[in-house]
Structure formats: structure tokens, C-alpha cells
Structure 1
Amino acid sequence: MRCALWFVLTAALGGAVAGGDDKAPAKAKPPAPIVRLFVQDMKTCSVKWADVRVGADQELLLDPLADVAGFKKLDPAKQKLVQMRESGSLVCVGVRDDADGAFESGWVLMQSGVGYADHGDHGHWTYKAAPAVIDSRLDAKQGNPAHLYRYDGWFYLANDKLNGYTRIDPEGYATNDARSLGQGKPLFVTGGGGHITLAVVDNKVGYACWIDGGGPNKGRVDVSPVGIGARPEPAYSFALPTGGIHGAAACAGKVFFAPSAGVCWVDADPGLKLKADQVQVRHIDLGTEGDKPRRTGAFVTHGHHVLFVTGKEAPNLAVLDAKSAEPKPVFLPLAVKKGTHAVTPEVVTSVDGKTYALVFHDRVKDSDAADALEVIALDPNGDGDFSDMKSVKVLAVGRSAVEGHFGHHDLAFDANRKYGFFTNPGDGTLSVLSLKTLDVVATFTVGGTPAALVARGGEDHDD
């Protein structure tokens, strides 16, 4: 499939119709958008946006990246953008600094300008407004967040240095038709400490983790109510057998944690009916690598499955069926080459009903190895059981630019699940993956160091 930038195409059309007439040439109507992308640029510490369109010859077109109205200019020498999430018509991004939050950190909430009208058997996406900032907290009192989550449509920002997290309800700001409804009322919840990871169950209760590998907070998890009207402080706490918790996820009535050894899980307690000594912590052994137990750093959920990557020397994709009374991991070796490492998967069910896990193999810093994207068919026979998953393709992709936790490829999908869009930070490019053919069908040069991104919307049917 061919690709082009829309501004190049319009310039060519303008040249074709100009001249020989005193009247100004009519502007060509741009093709309808199929998705709006929000892209973080690590180089400038900014968020930009652009629409993706399909041209008359079915080529993909990308508008020039544009600034988000009202987005404050940040200092890339002192600040970094962290995770970014989309919910309803809103996009939220976290900001941290290099002074433990004493310089300026917090969050920015943007109206995407993309609306959706649900008509039961179908819906209409509209792209009538440009994105703009509608609320933010950027100062020296936000606790230097590193993680931003979305659970059941709400945003949760971990305020690491404040030992708690902020719940932001999108309904307090906007609806799916992209109308601003005024200021919301973010709620601060006490729980977790250090480098906080968080799981939230049914927007009722949060499980916030402490990063400590030793001492009195080793393996500690604080359980706090997060619902409207709740008292936002821990109802009780419990401890995992090991510390260094780097990930948490809620799935199918269970809460999973990623400590320094294996995976732990507990039954969810959305009604806060338990006491600390009644919590039963179960452990899932992931085996060993050398003389150390294997672990993971982050989870992704899809339906009733929990997925993660484990192992450095011999990486595997692991899948847990959270509906099982005693979840057992199913492993699939990944085709990771020397000089690269596998990152947390992204999972998507395509428009034709096929479910894939997509795992980037990002270059280790200072390595000359080629980055890759491995595609795993999670349910080849369509029976809902992922135990027969298999790797079906390894694709060459642009370069990453990994520095610590930053500079990885990132991947997002249009609402129609026809395409995956991913960044190549080391090349200053953005690529498009067809979820039908599993081929890279377009690559656009956008400049800078494009890293995290989110996608909002599908094909525009507002005729």
C-alpha cells in the first residue's frame, strides 16, 4: 500500500488546478479520517496529534503533526512525559521531573475532539473539533508520577512521592460526543509507596503496591476504596512473600502482582469484606533463570486472560487463564535475538475476529541489533482457549531509542481494529500494521523522537 502525507497531496492538487482563471481554485475536500493519533515526542517533551485518512486510491495519508491547543511548553532537560491513556473523548498524560517532583510534575487532560454516537447496531465517529487541553495539575505538589492507568473508563495516576494516587472521572469533563462539560473533581486516594503500581477492581477498590525490596514495606499492598463517596484511605494492607513489586492487574475476580519472584494473586475483595489476616496470597512459580527466580514487570489483560513476558536469556510469552480456580502459566518461547529484549505485549482482536499478541523486540542500549515485532496468534482454532497459541510472524520495524523506561516502540489501534499504529523512536517515524495481512503497509516520517501514542476513533460516517 502506498503512503503519503496529506499536505503533500493537497499541494500537488493545488498546483494542478491553479492558473488561467481569476477565481481562486476550489480547495479539494480531504478524505475522511479513519482515526486520530496522539503522539509523544521525547525530544521536545510535547504531545502532538494528527488524523489518518484513506485516499482515493486506498493509500494511507497522515496529516502533519500539530500541537495540542493549550498544552504547556515543558522543559525536556528536566521533565518527561510518562504513560498516556484514552477514555471516552479524553486523553490523559502524566508528567514527571528529575527532581523527585520538586520542579514540576503532574498530569494534563485533553479533549480529543473525536466524538461517537451510538445507534445500537452501528455508530458514527465524528472529527469536528481540534484537540485542546481542558484541565491539568502541573506543579511541585503532584508527587512525580511514573504510571497512569485506565480501569473501567476512569484514569488513575500514581503520585509516587505522595504515597497515593489520583482518580480522574472522564464523565466529569466530557461525553462521547466530544462536548466539554466543565471541570471535574479529581480524588486523591492514599495507598502504595515509592514507585507505585496499581490494580483497580470494578471502580470500587484499589490495590496499590509498594516497591520496597526489604524493610517494613517489603511486598506491601494497600487496599483502598475508590468509589464515589468512599473514604479514600486503606481499609487494610497485606504482604506478598517477596517485595520489589513492579506490576499489578485485575482480571476475572482476581488481582495479580509481579514481585521479585514469580507471580502472586489474591481473590478480589470489591466489597472490602475481608480483614488483613483473611487475605490468602497464592504464588505462581515461573521457574528459574540461572540462580534467580523468573519474574515479570508488567501485565496486560484480555477478556479473562492475563499475559506477560518473562525471562531475559530465553524470553517467553506467558498466559494465565484468570477464570481458572488455580491459574497455571502457558509459555511460548519468543524469537528474540541477541542485543534485543522483549517488552510487554499488546493484545488486539482484529475486525475479522482473530486475536493477536504483538511483542516488540527492542534494542538494548548501544546495541546494533535490529528491532523487530513478533506476532502471536493467541487462539488459532477460535475456541477461546489460548493454550494453543503460536508465533506466526516476525516483522522488521524501525529503531527504538531506549533510555531506561523511555524510548520504546508503542502501539495503538483504530476503533475498527483494521490497523495497528506504532512509533519508531530512533528513526522519527510512525508505521502502520494491517491486522488483516500482518504486514507493515505504511511508514511516515514525523521527526523528533516519537514514543508513546494513543488512538481515538474509527471510520468517519458523518456524511
Structure 2
Amino acid sequence: MNRLKKTLIALSFGCVLLSPVTNADDRGPRVARVLWQDRAKDTLMWGEVHGGEKWIVSASTVKDFPKIDVKNQDLVQMEYAEGHLLVGVRDNDDGKFQSGWVAVDTGIREEPHGNHSHWNFVSSPSVKSSRLDADQGNPAHLYLYNGYFYMANDKKNGFTHMAPKDLIAKPAKDCGTFCTGGGNHITLAAVDNTVCYATWIDAGGPNMGRVDVVNLKQTDGEKIAYSFKLPTGVIHGATANSGRIFFAPEDGVCWVDADKSLSKTVASVVVKHISLGKEEGVEKPNRTGAFVNQRNWVLFTTSGPEGKSALCLLDAKAAEPTVIKLPIDVADGLALTTPEVVLASGGKRYAFLFHDRKVGELQEQLTIVDLDPNGDRNLSDAKIAKTIPVGPSKIDGHHGHHSVSFDSEGRLACFTNPGDGTIWVMTLKDLTIRAKSVVGGTPGQIVAIGAPEYQH
């Protein structure tokens, strides 16, 4: 195909997606790299974000990414650490078809320079290793705690924790350590790679509200030190912050003090409950489903009828944490996503929350919250900074939501619009959209890495 034909094809896709060679000299400087899941093909894509007069995002398939069966498998959560991206793979046959993980070398290396880092783009992304078989327990949730990956192996009633360095130095079969703990649809909260709290999602029966406390330093034998129960079940969310563990059962939020020394027993664990209220005319109390952390603060959302949704914040260091609610007006038919947070290069702390739709043609939105307007690191004065319309989502079960990620220096927000195959780029300095690039397919979860390359 000649150069002219490539140019015409690029133009037919909206004038913003350039081919790898077409008009390469017209691009501005590279400011970040992004990797995202394309649900249309169940593969992993990557591109460079170029700034300048014309902001664009390029698009290519990650080299050697394994072929995923679109009908029988899904890419699930992914996390980044030490130059590598771990991507979970789940199947629709309880893990009997083929599930597990894929490790991708992002081609970016951090070079620390005292009080800052340089980001070196050393190669294109490529698959480092993968483990896909009928013995990985159908993972769904994947976490990063204290620099380690924690992957829930739901159908094995346990989880795998692994160091990023193992993905670099070891064969796939030797990566990670499996621990029994948690059940059916597991959420995890780990502290100092010493102890992990693993939940059961059961709504009734003997495992309703069950949390297993797992000794990560135990080298063999039984690793569950003890188990305890929350007042209610259907636990779908857990996190660790400031020496405490927070859970999201079907009623409010529960928390316990982290037992790093494993000196407690089921009889001595004290479970505290924080109510999120109950809306008039609604049978069940308010709940949440996932947490994110910003310093000593835990953030999450609640929803209710007639637009009664809120961003919730609690201080994990407080003697008795209480919930601060920031109301967000959400149109009927839309629902808030789990917030994503960033410390911008200018010192501002933001939370990004999308208003996603499940059906219909409602205009979807992005609300950006200024978490700390006066800069005192107390987030109780959080306020809405901006709400803007965004491209459509494409909800299919747990998939098809908008996703946002921030570059390594907190200068950019890059987010996907699954319904129209675009990635938008926003500068955090002034919260202005700089690029609306057509990348094609159904872009979903996204990770942004790196920053402009500097020379001393």
C-alpha cells in the first residue's frame, strides 16, 4: 500500500488517527504511552500520546498478545508496576476453558533522579510471559499493594501474589505464590506483603460475611490464620489504608484494625460498621462496591433514586472514621463509576467519576472533583470542579464502562469512550480536552505510563 492510500485511510477514520508512518514528522513531542483493552477483539492495544499543535493518540496491537476467544473469554482487570502490566483473563466456563494472566513489558523504564524521575521509552510493548490454562481459577479482581500484584483465583477459593521482578526473571509457571483464602468472587486487601484479608461474596449460608486472614509469610501448609464475619454478606470491595482494612458488604462499610502480627483470634477481632443511610421507599440500605485511596482517605460512591448519588470520603486515620458525602446530580438512567484519583503536577488532587448508562441514549458525563481546594490535605472540603459531556460507553455486564488513567507525572488524563472507539486526552493544568482520537474497536480499561523525555 502506498503512502497516499495510507493517508486516505487515516483520514477516513476521523483525521486524528495517523498511521505509523503517515505524517510522522507532523506529530508533536511524545508525552506519554497508553495501553488499553479492545473488547471488540479481546486484545491489548497501545499507542503514543503526542502533544503540540495537534494532539493525537496512535494505535497498534501489542506484539505477541495471545489470541483470546471472543465468545468464551474476557480480559478483566489490569495493573502496572515496574515497567510491566499484568492483565487478567477470565472465561465463561468457571475457569475450565482457559483463564489466567498475561504479563506485558510496556517498554518504559523509570530512571530516578533524586526528587524526580525520567521516563525512558526503550522499546515497543510486547508480551513477556503468560499463563492461560484450566487451573488458574478464573480471576476477576486484580490489585496492586505495596508493589506486589494480588490476583483473585475465584474458582480455587484463593489468590496469587507475585512480585513484578518475577515476571521479568522467572518462567510463567514459577511466578507468584498461591494462597487459600476468600471464596466464589473474591476481593482482597493486603498490608506490607505480610497479611492479606480475602473475602467471600456469599449472600447466605455458612460463608456469609466471611473474611479470611491469610499469613503471607507462611511458606507451606495452612496459610489462613483465622476467619471472622461481618454483620452482612455479599462483600464486593476491600482495601487497606492507614493500618485499617475496609470492606463493602451489602449494608454500608465495615472496618477492622489490620492484624500485621497475626496476634488476634476470631474472638478478639472488633468489626466496626459505618452506615451509608437508606433512601425512603427503598428496601435495602445504601452500599458501595469498590474503594480507591488518596493518602489517608478512602473514596467510593453510593447511588440512590432521583439522582441521589454521592462521592463518599472517609479519613482512615480518624479515631472513629465517618463518611463525608459530596452530592452529585446524576440523571435517571445513569450511574456513577468508581472514582479514579490523581495528584496533578500542579499540586491539585482530583477525582474523576463518569456517569455511565446501561441502556438508552442518555448523554453521559464526566464529573471532576477538586478533592482539596485549600491544599491542607484534609479532603472534607471537596467540591465539584467541572462536569462535561463525554462520548458513549458500551455496557455489557461488567465491561464497556469508561476508563481513565493518568500519566506518570500527573499532567494528563487519558480516557476511553467505548461506544464510539475514541480516546480523549485532557490536560490537568486547566482540565481542557486536547485530543479526541479515533482508535477504533471498543476501547475499555486504559493505563497511561511515562512522561515527556528530558535531557539534562
- TM-score range (shorter-chain normalised) is over 0.9
Counterpart secondary structure, 1:255: strand
CA–CA distance in structure 2, aligned partners of residues 327 and 4 of structure 1: 47
Find 1:225's aligned residue among 215, 219, 236: 215
- When structure 1 is superposed on structure 2, of 161-170 and 223-232 the one drifting more is 223-232
Match of 2:385 among 386, 389, 392: 392
2:57 to 55, 62, 74: 62
CA drift of 1:351 comes to 0.8
Q: What does residue 16 of structure 1 align with?
A: none
- Which position in structure 1 is the counterpart of 2:434? 441
**Structure 1: gaps of 5 or more residues:** 14-27, 175-179
1:235 to 225, 228, 234: 225
Question: Is the contact made by 2:158 and 2:182 (CA closer than 8 Å) also made in structure 1?
Answer: yes
1:7 is the counterpart of 2:19: yes
Which residue number corresponds to residue 368 of structure 2? 375
Counterparts of 1:93 and 1:422, CA distance in 2: 18
- Whether the aligned pair in 1 keeps the contact of 2:404 and 2:446 (CA below 8 Å) is yes
Letter aligned with residue 292 of structure 1 = K
What letter is aligned with 2:19? F
Q: Distance in 2 between matches of 1:61 and 1:300?
A: 29
In the alignment, structure 1 residue 34 sits paired with structure 2 residue 24:
no
CA displacement, residues 76-96 of structure 1 (integer Å, 9 cap, x when unaligned): 111110001101100001001
Amino acid at match of 2:46: W
Letter in 1 for 2:427: S
Partner of 2:45 in structure 1?
A: 48
2:36, 2:443 within 8 Å by CA — same for their partners in 1?
yes
CA separation in 1, counterparts of 2:164 and 2:424?
Answer: 29
Whether the 8 Å CA contact 1:373–1:396 is kept in 2: the answer is yes
Partner of residue 406, structure 1? 399
Q: Give the deviation of 1:434 after TM superposition.
A: 1.6
Distance 2:377 2:194 in 1: 28
How much does 1:462 deviate? 5.3
* Corresponding position: 1:321 with 2:311: no
1:232 CA displacement: 6.4
Q: CA deviation at 1:385?
A: 1.1
Deviation at 1:30, TM superposition (A): 6.3
TM superposition score normalised by structure 1: 0.91
Determine the structure 1 residue equivalent to 2:414.
Answer: 421
Give the Cα separation in 2 of the matches to 1:119 and 1:381.
30
Return the alpha-carbon distance in structure 1 between the equivalents of residues 94 and 283 of structure 2. 34
- Whether contact under 8 Å (1:400, 1:407) holds in the other structure is yes
Say what the alpha-carbon RMSD is for the aligned residues. 1.9
**2:103 maps to what in 1?**
109
Aligned residue for 1:331, secondary structure, equals: strand
1:461 Cα deviation after fit: 2.0
What residue number does 1:24 align with? none
Question: Once the 2 structures are TM-superposed, how far is the Cα of residue 61 of structure 1 from its aligned partner?
Answer: 2.6
Distance 2:222 2:426 in 1: 42
Look up the SS of the partner of 2:267 in the other structure. Answer: helix
Distance of 2:269 and 2:328 partners within structure 1: 35
* Matched letter for residue 50 of structure 1: G
Q: Which residue is equivalent to 1:17?
A: none
- What's the CA shift for 1:436? 1.4
Which of 300, 311, 318 does residue 292 from structure 2 map onto? 300
Residue aligning to 2:266? 276
**If the length of structure 2 is used for normalisation, what is the TM-score?**
0.92
Cα contact 2:303–2:335 (8 A) shared by 1:
no
Amino acid at match of 2:379: F
Aligned residues: 438
Alpha-carbon spacing, 1:40–1:391, altered in 2? closer, same or farther (3 Å): same
Q: 1:339-377 CA deviation, whole Å, 9 max, x = no partner? A: 21111101111111011111100012x221111000111
* 1:216 paired residue number: 206
Per the alignment, do residues 391 and 3 of structure 1 end up closer, same or farther by CA in structure 2, a change over 3 Å counting?
Answer: farther
Counterpart CA distance in 2 for 1:440 and 1:339 is: 26
Q: Distance in 2 between matches of 1:343 and 1:227?
A: 35
| SS of corresponding position for 1:84 | strand
1:292–1:29 CA distance, 2 compared to 1 (3 A) = closer
Distance 2:394 2:454 in 1: 38
Alignment counterpart, residue 132 of structure 1, candidates 106, 126, 130: 126
Provide structure 2 residue ranges, at least 5 long, that are not aligned to the other structure.
1-13
The change in CA–CA distance for 1:447 and 1:321 in structure 2 (over 3 A counts) is same
Q: Kindly indicate whether the alpha-carbon contact (under 8 Å) linking 2:27 and 2:51 is maintained by their aligned counterparts in 1.
A: no
Equivalent pairs: percent with the same residue?
A: 46
Please give the secondary structure, in 1, of the residue aligned with 2:155: helix
Counterpart of 1:311 in structure 2 is: 303
Tell me the amino acid that sits aligned with residue 55 of structure 2.
L
Q: Find the counterpart in structure 2 of residue 163 from structure 1.
A: 157
The 1-side partners of 2:406 and 2:365 are apart by 18
